[in-house]
């Protein structure tokens, strides 16, 4: 598969396919990136930071990330630019190049999405849990088209909404099997429940 060239935005967060991502943009390199993406209706890549910080010199991103497309933007009261992006395809970074403004461009290949699977009985509670969470999640999730019959969609939404640590979220993003992802999420919920009872 031919590699795509996309600007990369390393963050202390993990974006999942189909998920919303609100961001406050203030660094010139990312203001320029957002302007180009809006003008060209093009995507940028979101990756969890492996080493470094969000601001300043270019951080080292994890090799698996998610394309993001801007679906809304506005100037915030504090003068910053507020955007909402929506997660698209997962990708693998093949190589990176850092520009003079510290914006990273990556040559990335898109990762195929595994087929949705029928939930086994021990996981059938997860769509109901997710539905209850999303009902209380606020405006970011009101615009999402729900798909409680898709094991990938269920896993991605739970992984982004539940209070999981970043390494686990990154691991769940990289997971190629939707049922394995859901089983790991189910185990995390059980551990959380045990600690809080």
Residues 141 and 70 in one domain: no
C-alpha to C-alpha distance for 8 and 93, rounded to whole angstroms: 10
Which domain covers residue 182, as residue numbers? 121-195
Answer yes or no: is 17 within a domain: yes
Residues 139 and 187 in one domain: yes
Answer yes or no: is 115 within a domain: no
Joined together, the tokens standing for residue 180 give: 């394995």
Tell me the per-residue pLDDT of 161-182, one tens digit each, with 9 for 90 and over.
999 999 999 999 999 999 999 9
How many other CB atoms are there within 10 angstroms of residue 56's CB atom?
9
pLDDT band for position 196 (cuts 50, 70, 90): low
Residue 3 has pLDDT above 90, yes or no: no
Residues 95 and 188 in one domain: no
Residues 29 and 100 in one domain: yes
Q: How far apart are the first and last CA of the chain?
A: 49
Contact (Cβ atoms closer than 8 angstroms) between residue 81 and residue 24: yes
Task: Please give the model's pTM, rounded to 2 decimal places.
Answer: 0.93
Answer yes or no: is 138 within a domain: yes
Tell me what pLDDT residue 191 has: 81
Tell me the per-residue pLDDT of 112-153, one tens digit each, with 9 for 90 and over.
998 899 999 999 999 999 999 999 988 889 888 999 999 999
Tell me the per-residue pLDDT of 33-76, one tens digit each, with 9 for 90 and over.
999 999 999 999 999 999 999 988 899 999 999 999 999 999 88
Answer yes or no: is 183 within a domain: yes
Share of the chain above pLDDT 70, in %: 97
Residues 137 and 90 in one domain: no
**φ, ψ for residue 66, nearest 5 deg:** -135, 135
Residues 28 and 100 in one domain: yes
C-alpha to C-alpha distance for 85 and 68, rounded to whole angstroms: 6
Residues 85 and 139 in one domain: no
8-state DSSP, 58: P
C-alpha to C-alpha distance for 195 and 186, rounded to whole angstroms: 14
Residues 32 and 104 in one domain: yes
User: Based on the number of CB atoms within 10 Å of its own CB, is 147 exposed (0-12), middle (13-18) or buried (19 or more)?
Assistant: middle
Tell me the per-residue pLDDT of 77-118, one tens digit each, with 9 for 90 and over.
887 899 999 999 999 999 999 999 999 999 999 999 988 999
Tell me what pLDDT residue 1 has: 64
Residues 75 and 32 in one domain: yes
Answer yes or no: is 116 within a domain: no
Give the CA radius of gyration of the chain.
17
Tell me what pLDDT residue 197 has: 63
Q: Which residues contact 5 (CB under 8 A, 6 or more apart)?
A: 105, 106, 107, 108
Greater model confidence, 191 or 176:
176
CA 9 to chain centre: 11
C-alpha to C-alpha distance for 164 and 5, rounded to whole angstroms: 31
Whichever domain contains 129, its CATH number is: 1.10.4060
Task: Give the residue from 82, 110, 138 where a domain finishes.
Answer: 110
Tell me what pLDDT residue 70 has: 97
């Amino acid at each position: 598969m031919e590699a795509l060239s996309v600007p990369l935005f390393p963050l202390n967060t993990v974006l999942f396919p189909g998920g919303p991502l609100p961001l406050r943009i203030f660094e010139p390199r990312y203001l320029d990136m957002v302007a180009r993406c809006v003008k060209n209706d093009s995507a940028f890549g979101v990756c969890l930071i492996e080493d470094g910080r969000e601001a300043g010199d270019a951080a080292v991103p994890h090799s698996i990330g998610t394309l993001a497309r801007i679906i809304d933007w506005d100037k915030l009261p504090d003068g910053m630019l507020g955007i909402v992006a929506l997660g698209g395809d997962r990708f693998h970074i093949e190589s990176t190049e850092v520009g003079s403004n510290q914006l990273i461009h990556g040559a990335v290949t898109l990762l195929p999405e595994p087929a949705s699977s029928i939930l086994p009985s021990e996981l059938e509670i997860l769509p109901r849990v997710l539905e209850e969470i999303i009902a209380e999640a606020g405006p970011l999730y009101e615009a999402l088209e729900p798909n409680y019959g898709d094991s990938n969609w269920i896993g991605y939404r739970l992984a982004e909404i539940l209070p999981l640590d970043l390494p686990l979220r990154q691991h769940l993003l990289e997971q190629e099997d939707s049922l394995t992802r859901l089983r790991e999420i189910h185990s995390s919920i059980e551990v959380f429940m045990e600690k809080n009872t």
